[in-house]
Amino acid sequence: MEVLNEISQALQNGDADLVGEKAQEALNLGVSPSNILSDGLLKGMGIIGAKFKNNEVFVPEVLIAARAMHFGLNVLKPILANTGVKPFAKVVLGTVKGDLHDIGKNLVGMVMMGSGLEVVDVGIDVHEDKFIEAIKEHKPDILALSSLLSTTMVEQKTVIDTLIKEGLRDQVKVMIGGAPVTEQYCKDIGADGYATDAVSAAEMARKLV
């Protein structure tokens, strides 16, 4: 459908206002909100994501697309809620104890939000107990742990061990990320997923739930 292509295109251009208008137009034409989401918004975000991984677009282009996605979602959300469509997965996101780096974490948060996930950002230098509190309070589907330093990545394991101790491990999928983190490390510490960049992280989060 033309209007869905227009939504996808406007999103790729980061034209937030046009995405909002076109989403409304599509609703008026009788297109279902879930259709607008998957074949318009997420399709556009998928194209931007692929280009980002391929170094064809960079951080500014991803951020403006994520922002445009948000505008589109705001149009759809009230209607999606009414139609009984399952709410978006919820993610608790933070940088582990001893690590104050937040650019990567913030990018992951922005792109996740732009992919329709609900993100609770608990900040930087987050103690494992604070992650546990956040899980009890927000009941997320996913816990995403960021670490830039080889000296703080061990804290990702500490958080997972604490989840096990608290009997919460089965209630939440754990994703890890950050420069020193590897697929092998992810397996070693018993995390559910690892991603190399913000776009992959958002895709993985959607896959995990």
Residues making contact with another protein (CB under 8 A): 14, 52, 55, 57-61, 63-64, 67, 98-104, 106, 110, 124-125, 149-151, 179-180, 196-197
- Closest to another protein by CB, 58 vs 87, is 58
What are 91's two structure tokens? 């993610």
In angstroms and rounded to an integer, the radius of gyration of the C-alpha atoms of the chain is 18
Least distance from C-beta 45 to another protein, angstroms? 16
What are 3's two structure tokens? 């209007």
- Closest to another protein by CB, 54 vs 82, is 54
Least distance from C-beta 76 to another protein, angstroms? 22
Query: How much of the chain is in helix, strand and coil states, percent to nearest 5?
Result: 60, 15, 25
- Closest to another protein by CB, 26 vs 68, is 68
- 3-class secondary-structure state, position 125: strand
Alpha helices by DSSP H, listed for 29-114, are 33-36, 42-53, 59-82, 103-114
What are 165's two structure tokens? 């101790």
- Closest to another protein by CB, 10 vs 172, is 10
Least distance from C-beta 61 to another protein, angstroms? 7
- Closest to another protein by CB, 171 vs 196, is 196
Least distance from C-beta 46 to another protein, angstroms? 18
Four-residue CA torsion sign, 72, 19, 16, 67: positive
Least distance from C-beta 102 to another protein, angstroms? 7
How far apart are alpha carbons 21 and 48 in whole angstroms? 20
